[in-house]
Structure 1
Amino acid sequence: MTDTSEDWRSLLARWSQEWADAQDGDPQDRDEEPLRTRRLGFPPAPEERIRELEERLGHRLPPSYRTFLAVSDGWRHAGGFVWVLAGTGRARWHEDAAGLSEYFPGELRDDSTPGDELLAGMWGRALQLDVESDAVYVLLDPGDVDEAGEWAVYTWAPWYGDMPRRYGSFRTFMEAMYREFHRLRAGAPERGGPVFDNATTRALDASVTAARLDALGGRYERAAEALAEAVAFGRPRATGLHDQLRRLRGETYLVSFRGLAADPVYAAEIVPVLAKEHARMHRDGGLTAHALPGASDAVRVGADEILRQIREGTYRYTAEGPFGRAVEEARELARWGDTDAAWHTLRAALPDWRPLSSEHLAPLGVLADPLLGPLITPDRGRELLATPRAGQPGDTPPPTADLDPPGLAWLADETPGTSRTSYRFVLVEGVAPADLPSRIAAAGEPTDLYAPTTPQSAPTRFRAADHVPPWADTALAAVGRAGPGWSFAFEARSHWNVDERRFVSPGLAASRDTRTVTVWSGPPRDHRPGFFHLSVAENGEERYGVTARGTTAEHRGPVPESLRLPPDGPDEHGRYERRVLEALATEFGVRLPRFALTRGRLHTLRTRPWNRAPGPGESYVTVRLVPHRP
């Protein structure tokens, strides 16, 4: 940041000329002189007058305000809402004249931040610079000083609707007001005002055009910097482009895409992203006029349909050409849990992606796809943006790390649902996930899988069903691929009431003409020891198994040494559980997809009971929970 007299002269002269050129109609009384002279400032303050002000205040003024006064002793039209800014003769202590210290930040507490403490004292010690304004206070704070001796500037108005705004120095404040002037004037043609065209706007518009090519070439950080500057000046194309970069980096706050959603050319790509955020924030209601200003009836009707699909989880992102084919391939991988492979497929096809038109920077709509959207983490969004697209030259970035750890051992550390919950699963060899219902589903259940859903929205509240006995312990299990040639059915819960006397592995029935692996683990709970069951079945019979409770265990059949319980039994840290999971992964070449089970969407089914019916004379107490079909 520069702050010499020449720097001030250059900024203030440019500001004055652009302001004068932008005026239209009859000026107000206070504008007659600046229009005539084409100067928003005043004659410079002599050094003697600046020193007199410092003596009156008992402070040496901060460097940028002091240098400003030596160029212009005050200012008119600082932004759109401060009409006269004080020079040496009208600057005065504020002394909390408006009583705002009562409200901002309010009463200090033990956990108040240093910023709260600064703000609390600012109202009583600050120098007030606003002379005429639209109820805007401009306060220069001698208690908030940086290493260069600059005082922070705070502004506030009743219509802000939020906390006071802070600027690091008077120079920073004035530069922000210059940008505010540009933003307000940039929208004048839309309101019937004059076209706002000058050297500054032309240079900014040229930077937007260059930023678009930078973004398509993978140089998104440079593009984002240029676009952010253009957005601050209100350039019309900048926000739509910049918001695309922001959203792919994981930002959602005030992302509107500036009219692109209302444009029929881009609506199919942009509306789903807005609809997804709307559905996340609001349970009902359509996309508001604020989200689609100026949209045609056709776009609005299409938006309502997209919002319905988003809420029901049936929206599908599509694209043309090779990238579109990669989208379909990636979706098929993702719905069975192969989310890393799905991302690799999308990433490899990114160079083949083509924009809808000149305001389109990336396949943004994929973020709204219920299966593919969760794959685009902020890191992957940045990787996407760093990949050259649309035929633009550029360097391919190194890939981000995969999200899924290999094997099964991660279950010993973190289980889907909550930290260290119970979990149970069945792995079936040689059977596709879509065919698992015929092997493992409860009697009376449909022969197809439930639609993909998230762990959070999967049915967790249940109703009675006629075909489910009240004693039956069925699992609502997520389904997918568990590695080459294997499928899984997995359920996690915070607790289970395990009764080993009535336990029946659903893997037995599922193992006809193949092999299955069944695991059930529950950590210690309420002074009860942990529980761990492992069994391997083939052709309807258990080949071997281990059932451990605390430090005791039962071994059945020829259990491999790597899976046997150590002499001192399982320990409270789960080392035995981890060792068994690692051995299973090595022995059978299996894995479970952590990302899909915790953050993705997977098909589900309700398994056959994990227990047998009560025998003669046996009683039971249970609460049966039966899932709604999605």
Structure 2
Amino acid sequence: MDRTAWKPFLKRWSEEWQIANPAEEPGADPWLGFPPASPEDVEALERRLGCTLPPSFREFLLVTNGWRHAGNFVWRLRDTDEIGWMRDLDPFMAELYDDTDDEAGEGAVLARSLLISLEADAGVVFLDPGDVDERGEWAAYDMFSWTAMGPERYDSFYEKMYDFYAGFHALDRPRCETQREWDTKVEQARLASLAGEVDEPLALLKEASRVGRDRANFLLFQMSAMLGHPDAANRFGHLLTGGHHLSWTLDEDLFTAETLPYLFVQHERARGQGTESAVAGLMKRGSDRVQRLIADHRRRAAEPGFRVRFGNPEFDAAVRAVLADPAGDDAWPLLRDALSLWRPMSDDHLAPISLLADPRTARLITPARGREILGTRRACPL
């Protein structure tokens, strides 16, 4: 990441931060940075440290000597006069762990690290000169005491800064061009998934979810469920208990018909393991609307003769015919063939996850077969 790439990225970040946090004085400069460090300033810092800085951090300083609001919990990054070794600037943090004999251990990393944050919410941001890649980039970390977790690693200073930027979008949600660009990409990923692509849409939806695009979260949940990811339900449950206004409108019909039956299967499994399920979390912390939908579903499920529907009538009938066929060994090929009749309920529907809500069909869908379903060209919505 050189200066020509840092400048537009940081300029956009500053402008979007201003949208989310309007200045009290109209027309105030939105720039979150400072004047650039001079080459002489950076060289003096390197002489003081006794090493060459990693490229992305060095170039960053030559664009802005420090930074404000690096993340929602990091209020200021240090400038060239303030940067130094953790052991000198924060000895308590440098000696927090006692595994310094292990070069890869958290204690050794902290003891040798370069502290680059100045003001943060009970946390630090630092670079590790003992973890260098082929580009000369040092691994970057942040660590906050209130997370009850150790240092979180990123491949470079730029990757850490992009993570801060994504986190800002996920929490502050500025109405800006970046959000519109990601919404366009999410729609492209949806169409690619329906066309039978798997890995590229999956990666794009993960990135869009990272910047707070809630529709991407819901689409990602469906793909993850089909692929057998054990945390799919809880990740989706977290979306609806996040305490922020959603950037997308939950389709109540789809949620009731496809999502809730799947979530209740996971609920029973979690109860058996003694853990809180997504449904349990939603019943405690979900919105009034979500709690109403859950209560309505539970009442219907308790009625005699209730059964999960497998989507549109043609597909539902085909699946039930497969289940009624006594030739159990042929059930998966027959179910796979029935997919040609499946139709999504809406533009937010990617996969027939209701198949995972009935033990007779769920047992047929291994993660590999779930990938095969996702790899099948599926019809466009009605």
TM-score between the two structures when normalised by the length of structure 1: 0.53
CA distance in 1, matches of 2:191, 2:261: 25
CA distance in 2, matches of 1:214, 1:371: 29
Could you say which residue in structure 2 is the equivalent of 1:328?
A: 320
CA distance in 2, matches of 1:373, 1:14: 46
Confirm whether residue 301 of structure 1 aligns to residue 290 of structure 2.
Answer: no
CA distance in 2, matches of 1:252, 1:165: 22
1:221 shift after superposition:
2.2
The answer to whether the Cα contact below 8 Å between 1:266 and 1:356 also exists between their aligned partners in 2 is no
Could you say which residue in structure 2 is the equivalent of 1:93?
A: 85
Report which structure shows greater RCO (CA 8 Å, sep ≥6): 2
Could you say which residue in structure 2 is the equivalent of 1:54?
A: 46
Could you say which residue in structure 1 is the equivalent of 2:175?
A: 197
Confirm whether residue 180 of structure 1 aligns to residue 167 of structure 2.
Answer: yes
Q: Secondary structure at the match of 1:282?
A: helix
CA distance in 1, matches of 2:302, 2:111: 54
1:99 shift after superposition:
4.2
Could you say which residue in structure 2 is the equivalent of 1:248?
A: 226
CA distance in 1, matches of 2:172, 2:251: 23
Match of 1:213 among 182, 191, 195: 191
CA distance in 2, matches of 1:200, 1:57: 38
The answer to whether the Cα contact below 8 Å between 1:224 and 1:245 also exists between their aligned partners in 2 is yes
Confirm whether residue 68 of structure 1 aligns to residue 57 of structure 2.
Answer: no
Q: Which has the higher helix share?
A: 2
The answer to whether the Cα contact below 8 Å between 1:352 and 1:391 also exists between their aligned partners in 2 is no
Match of 2:336 among 344, 347, 350: 347
Match of 1:280 among 269, 273, 286: 269
- How do 1:278-427 residues align onto structure 2 when only pairs under 5 Å count? 278-283=267-272, 287-290=279-282, 293-294=286-287, 295-296=289-290, 298-304=292-298, 316-333=308-325, 338=328, 340-391=329-380
Structure 1 108/75 Cα, relative in aligned 2: closer, same or farther at 3 Å? closer
Could you say which residue in structure 1 is the equivalent of 2:145?
A: 158
Q: Secondary structure at the match of 1:90?
A: coil
> RMSD value over aligned CA atoms?
2.8
CA distance in 2, matches of 1:306, 1:125: 60
The answer to whether the Cα contact below 8 Å between 2:282 and 2:291 also exists between their aligned partners in 1 is no
1:107 shift after superposition:
4.7
Deviations along 1:10-55, one digit per CA (max 9) or x if unpaired, are 11111111111221475xxxxx89x822101111111111011111
Give the residue type in structure 1 aligned to 2:343.
R
Structure 1 92/108 Cα, relative in aligned 2: closer, same or farther at 3 Å? closer
1:222 shift after superposition:
2.3
* Larger Rg over CA atoms: 1
Q: Which has the higher strand share?
A: 1
Structure 1 270/57 Cα, relative in aligned 2: closer, same or farther at 3 Å? same
CA distance in 2, matches of 1:378, 1:306: 30
CA distance in 1, matches of 2:261, 2:341: 22
1:317 shift after superposition:
4.4
For this pair of structures, how many residues does the alignment match?
361
Match of 1:239 among 182, 197, 217: 217
1:252 shift after superposition:
2.4
1:270 shift after superposition:
0.4
Structure 1 369/155 Cα, relative in aligned 2: closer, same or farther at 3 Å? same
Structure 2: state its 5+ residue gaps.
Answer: 241-248
Structure 1: state its 5+ residue gaps.
Answer: 27-31, 187-195, 393-630
- How do 1:467-486 residues align onto structure 2 when only pairs under 5 Å count? none
Could you say which residue in structure 1 is the equivalent of 2:245?
A: none
The answer to whether the Cα contact below 8 Å between 2:260 and 2:297 also exists between their aligned partners in 1 is yes
CA distance in 2, matches of 1:108, 1:69: 30
1:387 shift after superposition:
0.8
Could you say which residue in structure 2 is the equivalent of 1:42?
A: 34
1:366 shift after superposition:
0.8
1:140 shift after superposition:
1.0
CA distance in 1, matches of 2:22, 2:300: 43
CA distance in 2, matches of 1:36, 1:223: 40
CA distance in 2, matches of 1:66, 1:25: 30
CA distance in 2, matches of 1:321, 1:25: 55
The answer to whether the Cα contact below 8 Å between 1:262 and 1:299 also exists between their aligned partners in 2 is no
The answer to whether the Cα contact below 8 Å between 1:264 and 1:299 also exists between their aligned partners in 2 is no
Match of 1:22 among 12, 20, 23: 20
TM-score between the two structures when normalised by the length of structure 2: 0.86
The answer to whether the Cα contact below 8 Å between 1:319 and 1:327 also exists between their aligned partners in 2 is no
Structure 1 180/298 Cα, relative in aligned 2: closer, same or farther at 3 Å? closer
CA distance in 2, matches of 1:107, 1:71: 37
Structure 1 78/351 Cα, relative in aligned 2: closer, same or farther at 3 Å? same
